[in-house]
Amino acid sequence: MQVAVVMGSKSDWPIMQETSALLDQLGVTYTVQVISAHRMPRELQQFGETAKDEHYQVVIAGAGGAAHLPGMIAANTTLPVIGVPIQTKALNGLDSLLSIVQMPAGVPVATVAIGNAGAKNAAILATEIVALRDSKVSQRLAEYRSAQTKEAIASNATLE
């Protein structure tokens, strides 16, 4: 597998499903699992410590609220970690965003937008990382980007 998609709770799946759907479309292999930073600390640490041995190239971690999952994974691996802030009821996901983006120097987490847009961008960013080593994925990514451009141009024509 090239990418690990993890989330803090099963309730994060509706957002993280956007990530997996786009990884499917781009032909990137991945696994999906729930690892709660607060309820499964030993499992989280073991996951982070062994992720490289499992041959992952990048980890996408979705989390809401206190959102410690992406940062704690990053603290336990040298793989790139992409954090997806999950929208919450209490603060609309701002709490998640700030928890993920405000990492101390030396433990980076690439952070994307809150919610669906972030989940999709995380998949694209992970694909860009995988594409550095995989020419087939690189080609599919180029085709995806080209299709986006054509779609945007076509939508412009419908406005006239």
Each residue's pLDDT tens digit, 61-78 = 999 988 999 999 999 999
**CATH code (residue 9):** 3.40.50.1970
pTM score, two decimals? Answer: 0.95
Residue 39, marked binder: yes
Q: Print the domain residue range for 106.
A: 3-156
Please choose, from the candidates 114, 112, 131, the residue with its C-alpha nearest in 3D space to the C-alpha of residue 58: 131
Quote the tokens at residue 83: 């954090």
Measured distance CA(6)–CA(8) in Å, rounded: 7
Counted domains in the chain: 1
Residue 9, annotated as binding a ligand: yes
Buried b (16+ CB within 10 A) or exposed e, 82-113: bbbbbbbeeeebebbbebbbebeeeeebbbbe
pLDDT in tens, 6-41: 999 999 999 999 999 999 999 999 999 999 999 999
The response to whether 53 counts as a known ligand-binding position is no
